[in-house]
Amino acid sequence: MNQYVTGAVIKGLREKNKMTQLQLAEKLGVSDKTISKWETAKGYPDITLLEPIAEAFRISVTELISGNTIYNANVSANMLRSKFYVCPVCGNVIHGMGEASIHCHGIQLSPLEAEATDEHHVILIERMEDEYYVQIDHSMTKEHYVSFVAAVSSDGVQMVKLYPEGSAEARFKIRGVKRIFFYCNRDGLFTIDPIKGIDDKESGYETYQEQRELEKAADMLFG
């Protein structure tokens, strides 16, 4: 764990909940002097008290430690507001529908910011009956690869996990899909409207193929 609950966090939560030091102390079975010591950074609560403290403030232990209170405004959350998190240690992929405090391997993860696809992260999308067939022109080495591809609609997420030395491709049911996301382990998260992906493929396919042939020829001559 890379952080611990601070006195400032406890004080802020106590005041927000309109509790005195004595009232909080009574809930936790400690003295009000102990609460004062925590809040003035002259001591820290024992780890066994983290859960009771969180319960006193009606938050989770994760929220208490991170210092970020999460407000549940996700009852009718739209999947199009999906957030993706990737652990830099183990590569674990986590999907969230709204605000969350996500930890993995002791690291608090931040939601990935999706960028528009570019010339180094080309995605080709074909419509095949009731499916989108997605191909990503990207290396799939152990050092540089696409980790996952996801298709997001307003009420669901379809995700395909990819692996180094495998194929950078996936198939998704078309129904309701509004955005396609994919994650490059070096450059981050990219997104595209699937219709735009099809249009780009139709309008730029010949140019794209010509560019790939030139690159292959250059590799053979100078590689």
Q: What is the CATH number of the domain that holds 189?
A: 2.60.40.730
Same domain membership, residue 214 and residue 155: yes
Residue 154 lies in a domain: yes
pLDDT digits (tens, 9 = 90+) for 172-203: 999 999 999 999 998 999 999 998 777 665 55
Question: What are the C-alpha distances in Å from 44 to residues 15, 35, 170, 206, 219?
Answer: 18, 9, 50, 65, 60
Instruction: Tell whether 103 and 128 lie within a shared domain.
Output: no
Summarised one tens digit per residue, pLDDT across range 110-161 is 889 999 998 888 899 999 999 999 999 999 999 999 999 999 998 899 999 9
Residues 6+ apart with CB under 8 A from 154: 78, 79, 80, 176, 178
132 plus 212 within the same structural domain: yes
Claim: this prediction has a pTM higher than 0.75: no
pLDDT for 47 equals 85
> Residue 102: which domain range?
79-109
What whole-number distance in Å separates Cα of residue 54 and Cα of residue 200?
A: 51
Sheet harboring 115-116: ordered strands across? 115-116, 188-192, 179-184, 146-152, 157-161
| Pairwise pLDDT comparison (216 vs 15), residue with the higher score | 15
